[in-house]
Amino acid sequence: MSTPSKVFVAGATGLLGSQIISSLLDQGAPVRAMVRPGADAEKRGALTALRSRGLEVVEGDITDPIEQLAASIGDAATVVSAVQGGPDVIVDGQANLARAAAKAGAGRFIPSDFAVDVTKLDDGDNFMIDWRRRAATEYADAGLEVVSVLNGAFYEVMVGFMGLVDWDRGTLSHWGDPDQPLDMTSVPDTAAYTAAVALDPEATGTLRFAGEVLSMRQFHDAVQRGSGRTLELRRLGTADELRAEIERQAALTQNPFDYIALQYQWCMVTGKGKFDALDNARYPRITPTSVTDFVRAASPTA
């Protein structure tokens, strides 16, 4: 079997980026990871430890001058971005990275999308997704193939950041129709699909993956089964009432991150960001974990 071509990963110290690197190395791919000069010592150390598995580590920032960034990318055939940040990073930084990748001779760019179906949303639905669509128009003419990977919501986010589950009160709260199907995938499975796409020269366009497609009612069952806990399923209101709640909060704060979790929920519970079809079958080797198993593994007493 021939050696896969080299993959450059930006966002290497991040939650998703670090797991994309592990998945790529597991598949025998040569990987070059970019780490910011000021990156956390522990995260940098974890990457350094992967050098024995063939990982190259370079210092840099996706906002570096193009010539410098292109030199960092070197002979990589595919550039994967798993960065997170504001518009300076997601729009300007990623456009810069895509242009540097093209300059270095890389043929493909996988941007840091990793969300619900960004192509179906409108400006104002979710400000972080707005940045990703703006970025896409910026790097559309960068001179390389852009392949977008979408995964719905991370399981980790569904049971954590979204604020749906309150273990102390024993509740699982949600907005909208409890029977609306929702796309969701664990971080490791999203990383595995991203690595598979990065190493698949035939992959083009937007690819959509989900570990599971569950309604809130089914998600509630899965969380109860996995945790061994009984949780009261509470409906907070309709999807329209959720939109009104987002607008109410937006009027009260200067910081849109205060209501971003609600914007992600709105995109999901309305069905607006729902995938029409999945590309899981393209990579049958990947068998994503279920929400039940994910929650069971995270609940040692279950």
Considering only 23, 72, 96, 151, the residue that binds ligand NAP (CB under 6 A) is 151
**Which secondary-structure segment (H or E) carries 234?**
strand 232-237
Considering only 6, 36, 208, 274, the residue that binds ligand NAP (CB under 6 A) is 36
Single out the residue of 274, 250, 275 nearest to residue 262, CA to CA.
Answer: 250
Q: What share of the chain is helix, strand, coil (3-state, %, to 5)?
A: 45, 15, 40
**Are 231 and 224 in contact, with CB atoms under 8 Å apart?**
yes
Single out the residue of 34, 127, 49, 115 nearest to residue 80, CA to CA.
Answer: 34
96 is an interface residue for ligand NAP by CB under 6 A: no
222 is an interface residue for ligand NAP by CB under 6 A: no
Count of residues interacting with ligand NAP (CB under 6 A): 28
Interface region with ligand NAP, contact rule CB under 6 A, candidates 55-63, 208-216, 219-227, 292-300: 55-63
Q: Which amino acid is at 69?
A: L
**Nearer residue to ligand NAP within complex by CB, 154 or 266:** 154
153 is an interface residue for ligand NAP by CB under 6 A: yes
The Cα–Cα gap between 35 and 62 comes to 10
Considering only 25, 157, 261, 302, the residue that binds ligand NAP (CB under 6 A) is 157
195 is an interface residue for ligand NAP by CB under 6 A: no
* Residue whose C-beta lies closest to ligand NAP: 14
Considering only 4, 14, 188, 273, the residue that binds ligand NAP (CB under 6 A) is 14
263 is an interface residue for ligand NAP by CB under 6 A: no
Q: First CA to last CA across the chain, in angstroms? A: 43
112 is an interface residue for ligand NAP by CB under 6 A: yes
Contacts of 300 (CB under 8 A, 6+ apart): none
**Residue 14 C-beta: closest distance to ligand NAP, Å:** 2
